Amino acid sequence: MPITRRSINCAVFAIAASLSLAPLVPASASAQQLAPIQYTVSMPAPETHLAHVQARIPTGGKPYIDLMMAVWSPGYYVQENYATHVRDISAETTDGRPLAVEQPQANRWRVRTDGASTITLSYTLVCDHRSVTGDWVDTTMAILNGPATYMTLADHVKRRHDVALELPSRWKQSATSLAAAADSIANHYEASSYDELADSPIIAGNISFHEFTVAGAKHYLADIGEIPPQWDGALAAQNLQKFVTADYTFWSFLPFRKYVFLNVFRQGGGGLEHLNSTLLTSSPKSAGGGDMRWLQYVSHEYFHAFNVKRLRPVQLGPFDYEHPPKTPSLWISEGLTTYSGNLMVSRGGIGTQQDVLGALSKAITSVQNAPGRHVQTLEQASLDIFSTGGSGVGGDRNSTVSYYDKGLIVGLLLDARTQHATNGRKSLDDMMRLAYKRYGGAHGFTPQQWVATASDVAETDLTALFHTLLQTTDEMNYSEALGWFGLRFAPSDNPATAWTLEIRPDATPQQIARLDRLTQPYEKRWRTASPAN
């Protein structure tokens, strides 16, 4: 479907409600009927980097209610304690009587209700944080992340949460994956639960929209911030459509009706996955929409809509926003997502085979030149992440290993082993799809279930291989992958280039066909019938 550029009024933009899988915590019929929490967020003086939040909260007739604020954001494995950004908290009844507010712990508040059925809570947020988990407000835009923005009842009961934005007059619209509220008022949204609210960031200001449709699912590229003059949003959307189409081919379905790329141009970096959107930080120096590094990074976040948001380690759900989880499987959630995300760009027909090999070479070089690979296992890198910091990025290379980089490499090694063991009939693609079929949605998987699924696909017991790759600091053996795909490390005496992958001069037609099948566009794969074995 052709891509069109248009500015979309918020009420129209939010009509296509997101479609997610069943909630991780089933809601009872009575919970579905509970009165919602209703927030109004305003920025009366955006130059101060402050936002004001007013929340109407039902009390259920209790003498007091306990409220909580998250201490971390799912997908970013750092404890951030968002309550430290709260100022001037107060509460009153709907007729204006002040209520006592206590703070028994750093991220919790207790409000005496004096018998009121609904109370109004007010607080101010300091919004001067450029990270993809923090809040930002200035004269040009606002970025609101759920965990950093909303206090909610600490009863862990599913109920609707509504958000109404009051924007400065010079701002035109907002964007989010949340559904428009039933009243159809602009900048008014609703979430079926706190989980959905926390997983649906909002941007507001003057936004440039581009849209495209794949398999009936509307996708929006929403650019905001310091958009560089060389940026070509239409070209960027065309490229996004290509790898989204590859994802659809890979999985054979898309799990939503609407998905939003919230693309913020500002200083900083990084992106964060959400159920039906991603919040991106893009450099104001970005190329015009075809930059390969940007596309691979965004493809990684999009692949997360499947791998981690819907296919997840069992420890990552239901979420406890006050106690960060520990899982040994972030190498799957992040490393295999990086591996597959890069392939989706190539299989969508963007870039070249060398772009895939270049990304693999960069990861291998990083791991092989890091002393930490002899100190920390891949499972430990995942389990220890809240104590070592960085959410898997920028850790101490002398004592840690990145589950992004080593996980990507393990993806290559598992792919080669699976293809080799089945004589090319099965691959890591089949492993991911079978895992999704077995454990997607509300289930979650254990490490043992992942090994069993991988072994079923490979038609051989992979327990020993997984043990070596995940639970030891032994050097990884690249020989099988290099031999299967006809690759070698380019001759070099320089450690910075000694791990650069290249096609062997004597690679056989079968090896070249296997590498082509791994990296070539799906369209080309359908047009050719080269043997892969």
Residue 457 located in a structural domain: yes
Domain tally, the chain: 1
Which pLDDT does position 333 carry in this prediction? 98
Q: Which of 477, 510, 489 is nearest to 357 (CA)?
A: 489
Whether residue 509 has a cis bond before it, omega within 30° of 0: no
Instruction: Convert 201-219 to b/e letters by CB count within 10 Å (16 or more is b).
Output: bbbbbebbbbbbebeebbb
Q: What are phi and psi of 333, to 5 degrees?
A: -65, -40
Q: For residue range 263-297, what is the model confidence (pLDDT) as tens digits?
A: 999 988 889 999 999 999 999 887 777 899 999 99
Over its C-alpha atoms, the chain yields an Rg (Å, rounded) of: 24
Using CA atoms, how far apart are residues 179 and 13, in angstroms rounded to an integer? 9
pLDDT in tens, the chain (533 residues): 434 333 333 333 333 333 333 333 444 444 457 999 999 999 999 999 999 999 999 999 999 999 999 999 999 999 999 999 999 999 999 999 999 999 999 999 999 999 999 999 999 999 999 999 999 999 999 999 999 999 999 998 999 999 999 999 999 999 999 999 999 999 999 999 999 999 999 999 999 999 999 999 999 999 999 999 999 999 999 999 999 999 999 999 999 999 999 999 998 888 999 999 999 999 988 777 789 999 999 999 999 999 999 999 999 999 999 999 999 999 999 999 999 999 999 999 998 999 999 999 999 999 999 999 999 999 999 999 998 877 677 788 999 999 999 999 999 999 999 999 999 999 999 999 999 999 998 889 999 999 999 999 999 999 999 999 999 999 999 999 999 999 999 999 898 889 999 999 999 999 999 999 999 999 877 665 444 45
Whose tokens are 């291998």? That residue is 364
Residue 144 located in a structural domain: no
Q: Strand pairing partners for 54?
A: 40, 122
Which pLDDT does position 18 carry in this prediction? 32
User: What mean pLDDT is reported for the chain?
Assistant: 92
State the amino acid at position 82 in one-letter form: Y
Domain that holds residue 504: 306-527
Residue 428 located in a structural domain: yes
Q: Which of 107, 116, 136, 12 is nearest to 57 (CA)?
A: 116
Using CA atoms, how far apart are residues 290 and 232, in angstroms rounded to an integer? 8
Which pLDDT does position 12 carry in this prediction? 32
Contact 277, 200 (CB under 8 A): yes
CA 281 to chain centre: 13
Using CA atoms, how far apart are residues 87 and 91, in angstroms rounded to an integer? 13
Q: Which of 155, 133, 131, 139 is nearest to 74 (CA)?
A: 133
Residue 497 located in a structural domain: yes
Which pLDDT does position 528 carry in this prediction? 57
* 453: CATH: 1.10.390.10
Q: What are phi and psi of 61, to 5 degrees?
A: 75, 10
Q: What are phi and psi of 391, to 5 degrees?
A: 50, 40
Long-range contacts, 424-432 (Cβ 8 Å, 24+): 424/514, 424/532, 424/533, 426/457, 426/458, 426/459, 427/518, 428/336, 428/339, 428/340, 429/250, 430/457, 431/457, 431/458, 432/250, 432/306, 432/307, 432/311, 432/336, 432/340
Using CA atoms, how far apart are residues 401 and 352, in angstroms rounded to an integer? 29
Residue 26 located in a structural domain: no
> What pTM does this model have?
0.92
The DSSP string of 270-337 is: -EEE-SSEEEEEE-TT--SS--HHHHHHHHHHHHTTTBTTTB-BTTS-S--TTS----S-HIIIIIIH
Q: Which of 351, 332, 456, 473 is nearest to 392 (CA)?
A: 332
Residue 438 located in a structural domain: yes
Residue 411 located in a structural domain: yes
Using CA atoms, how far apart are residues 184 and 34, in angstroms rounded to an integer? 21
Instruction: Convert 294-310 to b/e letters by CB count within 10 Å (16 or more is b).
Output: bbbbbbbbbbbbbbbbb
Using CA atoms, how far apart are residues 122 and 379, in angstroms rounded to an integer? 43
Which pLDDT does position 20 carry in this prediction? 34
Q: How many CB atoms lie within 10 A of CB 7?
A: 12
Using CA atoms, how far apart are residues 526 and 212, in angstroms rounded to an integer? 24
Q: Tell me the pairing of strands 277-282 and 258-265.
A: parallel
Which pLDDT does position 471 carry in this prediction? 98
Distances (CA, A) of 336 to 142, 358, 533: 32, 16, 24
Q: Which two tokens stand for residue 145?
A: 């992340």
Residue 415 located in a structural domain: yes
Specify the length of the chain in residues: 533
